Amino acid sequence: MEKVDGLQFLIDYENVHEQGFEGMENLYQTDSVSIFYSECCKNISRQVMNYILSSGCFFYTFKLKKGGKNALDFYIVSRVGEMIGAGYEGQIVIVSRDKGYSAARDYWFTCGIPYNRIILSASVKEGILASNENSLRRRKIVADAETVCLDTEYARYEERAHIKDRLITVFRGTEYEEELPKICEVADGKQSPKELYLSSIKEFGKADGTKIYRYLKNAAG
């Protein structure tokens, strides 16, 4: 078995279908994805495959040889045992809505494997959240899930729209008119003149950045 430093995702495809792939865009090169499927459930979206391939992660498929009740479950549980027996010490994420996998986790707990080493989740995204790993992807997922106040967010939207209208007026007919989308990004959220100046220099270079900063300063005035 390849050495994997990230998360091991074991996906019970017959159980979760496409919904289980939610969060695949967050895969790391250090992760491993194993999809367990059968003849009646062997097609997945091109987008999911693109996420897997572009991430550079380890990728495996396990196709059911012979049908039977809970057959894929036994495949997955066997794979868990194979990985632990091979010395894998990271976290294993079983992506399934089947509650029966908790029995396998209970068994490994009696063998000294902590509960948080085997994660049961309904999607890749939920598995990353449950892993409690200290990573940028997990922080982003947490941030995206936060609730926000519509009053506050709409006020911010109106403020940005107002600033954009002013910048359109200021830069209309100048040599930087075509750069307006980038200029709006630079101006967005910048409060102090120093911060605005440094952002302009960083984005456009010293000569053009200085000129653009002067326009922005006039717009603010």
Q: What is the mean pLDDT of the chain?
A: 90
Q: What is the pLDDT of residues 157-170, one digit of tens each?
A: 888 888 888 888 88
Looking at residue 3, its pLDDT comes to 64
Mean pLDDT of 140-157: 88
Mean pLDDT of 117-146: 92
Looking at residue 79, its pLDDT comes to 95
Report the alpha-carbon angle 40-42-48, nearest 5: 145
| Residue 191: pLDDT over 70 | no
Looking at residue 82, its pLDDT comes to 93
| Residue 198: pLDDT over 60 | yes
Cα separation, 50 vs 207, whole angstroms: 41
Buried-exposed string 98-117: b where 16+ CB fall within 10 A, e elsewhere: beebeebbeebeeeebeeeb
Residues 34 and 4 sit within 8 Å (Cβ to Cβ):
no
Looking at residue 75, its pLDDT comes to 94
Q: How confident is the model at residue 43 (pLDDT cuts 50, 70, 90)?
A: very high
Cα separation, 72 vs 97, whole angstroms: 13
Q: How confident is the model at residue 14 (pLDDT cuts 50, 70, 90)?
A: very high
Look up residue 54 and give its amino acid. Answer: S
